[in-house]
Amino acid sequence: MHFTDQLGRVIFLVKAPKRIISLVPSQTELLFDLGLADRVVGITKFCIHPNSWFESKQKVGGTKNLNFETIKKLSPDLIIANKEENNRNQIKRLMSDYPVWISDIGVLDDALKMISSIGELTQTSSKALSIVKNVEAEFSSLRPMLNMSVAYIIWKNPIMSVNKTRFIHDLLQRVGFRNVFAENNVNYPILTAKDLQIEKPDIILLSSEPFPFKDKHKEIFKEICPKAKVELVDGEFFSWYGSRLINSVDYFKKFVGKLLKIKH
């Protein structure tokens, strides 16, 4: 059987994979929701959902710092990776020994195609289709609820944001946020305080990941942009592109409701 990944690469599987390693947290959670507990043998140390897998599954290192000896001992017959989240050279090394299927997610449609494709790879297409339909139904109910300029911050030192090529940007737009760094020519622009002051965002969103922003960090950004609202957001709902998307819209609606109360 041959399958094409989201980079256009073709991989061959002799039979349905029974020893799967996932190198991407959001795709690990998807594999759980596809009912593949008995077939997933390895995950990364950042694959925190579901907690039962985080506690029991063999860890193969971090998303960008893989343990090749551990992977070899697990004898995977399929490795599921991502172009952005994993290290290119490490993935190329894995390709020489194992079938590696790579996702490439820029917008919601890419995520839906990834879910369907992994369903085909693992012979769980009916469950994957159900997840896709649920995500589509949720997002079809979502209309832009705000008209606010936003700086979405993913890292503290240095301060980093996202441009329009990133999945986060697509979801921000769907909520009604206008990403002030959308046109930056760097995918993850490094910012100075002056950059934020020039753009004058209505709101600054501090993500819970990859940097774990907390309440104590809000004052830093309030000092930089005194007129901007500064709020913490759960980054998983803005950046995880697997089955967690089913719950993202509900989170967005509740978050916007909170913002509107603050505004009024």
Output the six-digit token pair for 118.
């992994």
Amino acid sitting at position 37: A
Query: DSSP secondary structure string, 187-201?
Result: SS-EE-HHHHHHH--
Whether cis (ω within 30° of 0) applies to the bond prior to 99 is no
b/e sequence 79-116, b meaning 16+ C-beta within 10 Å: bbbbebbbeeebbeebeeebbbbbbebbbbebbbebbe
Q: What is the mean pLDDT of residues 137-161?
A: 95
Residue 262: partners with Cβ closer than 8 Å, 6 or more residues away? 229
Determine how many CB atoms are found less than 10 A away from the CB of residue 192: 11
The predicted pLDDT at position 262 comes to 64
Give, in degrees to the nearest 5, the angle at Cα 143 between 195 and 203: 25
CA distances from 143 to 63, 197, 223, 241 (A): 34, 29, 32, 19
45-75, pLDDT tens digit by residue? 999 999 999 999 999 999 999 999 999 999 9
Whether cis (ω within 30° of 0) applies to the bond prior to 210 is yes
Give, in degrees to the nearest 5, the angle at Cα 158 between 157 and 160: 115
pTM of the model: 0.95
Domains of the chain and CATH, by start: 2-105 (3.40.50.1980), 148-263 (3.40.50.1980)
Q: Are strands 61-62 and 58-59 parallel, antiparallel or unpaired?
A: unpaired
199-258, pLDDT tens digit by residue? 999 999 999 999 999 999 999 999 999 999 999 999 999 999 999 999 999 999 999 998
Give, in degrees to the nearest 5, the angle at Cα 102 between 100 and 104: 175
Share of residues in the chain with pLDDT > 90 (%): 95
The conformation of residue 54, written as its DSSP 8-state character, comes to H
- Does residue 78 come out as left (phi exceeding 0), alpha (psi in the -120 to 50 range) or beta? beta
